[in-house]
Structure 1
Amino acid sequence: MKKACVTGGNGYLASALIKQLLENGYHVNATVRNPDDIAKVSHLKKLEEIGTLKLFQADLMVEGSVDEAVIGCDYVFHVAAPTNLMSDDPENELIRPAIQGTLNVLKSCLKAKTVERVVYTSSGSAVSVNQQKGTGYVLDEEAWSDVDYLMGEKPPTWGYIVSKTLAEKEALKFASENQMDLVTIVPTLIVGPGLSLEVPVSIHMALSLFTGDEMWINGLSAMETLSGSISMVHLKDIVRAHIFLAENPSASGRYICTAVNTSLAEIASFLTKQYPQYKVFIDVHDIPAKAKLSLSSKKLIQAGYEFNYNMEEIFDTAIEYGKSKGMLPKQDHS
């Protein structure tokens, strides 16, 4: 019976990962800030029906805080990360906690002496934010976002991007210095129905061209402007990829995980054709026709991983979920 620890267990990706691990027969320890906060952990409590799940209170900023949770674990999935994208104090609310929290988790894994591999969840934003001009770039695991540019220019959400970039670099460095088996997975925008009652941010973004919500449409547009593309992966695919990389003995280093690389104009065109019953709220003439770049999942695919969800299936899932939440406008049958 394999045992795994997942940090930040009540989060969108982490809770879906815990569910899949339990369904695969794992015993799971999950860290949360407050196991007694029923509003935050009720969706995890339901998962106890599937298998053995234990919740541990942990503050990742405190060294040793996750010692108890990782003892006896074969794999540790470090998913937790500060995510306040619009923080007024990125240095203290995002960057320092992301780095320190990651190092504290890795130190606990070293101490445990049972952990075979750590899988660290990074972000596509740690790869693609750069000042290159033009289009047609294909980025792989060698690429890193330009931290000097981000800290100098401070574009929107710069603090989060710097935090993910530097935390991943520090994790790889620590693992190398301590002969630790660490793999980092680099997901793009994760879209899929989450387990908690809240509608995930990514669903709001994915459906924004149907709902007409300007804040979320602007979010998609800003993502393309800053990251160079709108790249997506289904929640179920990214969860499977985490487990695949933990269990694959030959996995090492970074792995980009994205099923779709596209642009706002291409999404608008695709949605108009694919779902004619809905009005698409955007004028494609006002936006760039093509994305600047794409992210390559070639390394992950060559390791033997297969994606189950393409663009059409990602949006089909989002729309079904959106309907169930009453998010979508009445269909246009004219």
Structure 2
Amino acid sequence: MQTVGILGGAGFIGSYVTQKFLNEGYTVKVSTTDLAKPEKYQHLHQLSHAENLTISEVDVTNEADLGEFLRDCNIVVHSGTPFQLAAENPQEEVFEPTVRGTENFLKVVSQTPSIQKVVFVASVGALNTAYPMPNPNQPADHVYSEADEPYLDTTAIPYAQAKYYADQAVRQFVATHPDTGFDIVSVSPTGVMGKPLSARDDSTSVGLQYLFKNKIAPNPFVQMLFDRDVEFAIVSVSDVAEGIFRAATRPGLHGKNYLLTGESWPVSALTAMLNHETPAKAARLVYSNALATQDLGMAFQPAHVPLHEYAGV
């Protein structure tokens, strides 16, 4: 039985990843930032095959913590950056754990001989920090793909900028370490939607679904999304977990980065689907999933599937 370590394995995406690996017969180690807050991770104990699960407190900026967590892992999934629209202290809350955490992680992984595969859960924000808005340097009908040069908007939300810099650190590591002894693969989900596996409501993805469903705009940013009827590329959280598992278990993918995405819909259409209504507007494919379909054998669910799953909550 192989062992997989999942940094952030109790979050919205991470919980699905944890369940996927448990279902596939792996021993799973999950990190949490604070064991004194069981409400953050206690739902994992209710998952199928949870007898093969352990949960540890890990500070991703602490090399000793990381080293102890990664010891004896064969596969590692780095999903430790919660999606945030805003932060009171971006440097402390977002940039430090995301960018420095990634750099420390790469260093420690290089010193852990048991590791065979590393999967970074990046973000569409690493490719286009302006998401869900378009890259202003691209034509309006551009279909984004892994071949695009990543775009940095210095006015973008801190989360997107931090994901951009973390992704750049991974790309630089891959380029400068041709003989690592393990494979590194990155996946970049677009707007992740679906039903959470926990009772927590602090996930931004879950929060956005609530706001869109109920047409609530608590701040100018969300109001702008409604006013402009901004187009969102959507992917099911269960598809993201499946893509991560396939990236982790298929050989010959070293250095690859995969967009995980389905259709793109305007906010008004998301609101309609969340209320079990027929959208007035049609979907487009703004972000390409061709590479993930080809290499990982993915078949992405239509947007109404995760939205209806959430709306049934």
- Shorter chain as denominator, the TM-score bin is 0.7 to 0.9
Structure-1 residue corresponding to 2:174: 175
Does 2:195 correspond to 1:193? yes
Deviation at 1:293, TM superposition (A): 7.7
Structure-2 residue corresponding to 1:248: 250
Does 2:82 correspond to 1:98? no
TM-score, reference length from structure 1: 0.80
Structure-1 residue corresponding to 2:162: 163
CA contact (8 A) 2:243 2:296 kept: no
1:1-334 map, 5 Å: 1-47=1-47, 49-81=49-81, 83-128=83-128, 129=130, 130-132=135-137, 134-147=139-152, 150-151=153-154, 154-155=155-156, 157=157, 159-178=158-177, 179-180=179-180, 181-199=183-201, 200-215=203-218, 219=222, 221-222=224-225, 229-252=231-254, 253-267=256-270, 275=277, 294-321=286-313
Deviation at 1:292, TM superposition (A): 9.8
Residues 223 and 232 of structure 1, relative CA distance in 2, 3 Å threshold: farther
Deviation at 1:294, TM superposition (A): 1.0
SS of structure 1 residue aligned to 2:143: strand
43-52 vs 15-24, greater mean Cα deviation: 43-52
The CA RMSD over aligned residues, in Å, is 3.0
Q: Can you list the C-alpha shifts for 1:193-234, whole angstroms capped at 9, x where unaligned?
A: 1122123432342353442222389538549979x7401111
Deviation at 1:266, TM superposition (A): 4.4
Please say which structure displays the higher CA radius of gyration. 1
Deviation at 1:45, TM superposition (A): 2.7
CA distance, structure 2, for counterparts of residue 318 and residue 90 of structure 1: 29
CA distance, structure 2, for counterparts of residue 12 and residue 38 of structure 1: 15
Deviation at 1:82, TM superposition (A): 5.1
CA distance, structure 2, for counterparts of residue 12 and residue 301 of structure 1: 23
Residues 105 and 92 of structure 1, relative CA distance in 2, 3 Å threshold: same
Deviation at 1:267, TM superposition (A): 3.8
Q: State the percentage of identical aligned residues.
A: 20
CA distance, structure 1, for counterparts of residue 265 and residue 172 of structure 2: 32
Structure-2 residue corresponding to 1:330: none
CA contact (8 A) 2:262 2:285 kept: no
Residues 106 and 98 of structure 1, relative CA distance in 2, 3 Å threshold: same
CA distance, structure 2, for counterparts of residue 51 and residue 114 of structure 1: 22
CA distance, structure 2, for counterparts of residue 25 and residue 224 of structure 1: 47
Residues 81 and 209 of structure 1, relative CA distance in 2, 3 Å threshold: closer
Structure 1 unaligned segments of length 5 or more: list them.
322-334
CA distance, structure 2, for counterparts of residue 292 and residue 48 of structure 1: 36
SS of structure 2 residue aligned to 1:100: helix
Q: Can you list the C-alpha shifts for 1:89-147, whole angstroms capped at 9, x where unaligned?
A: 42343223311101212222211111111000011112233223652110111224432
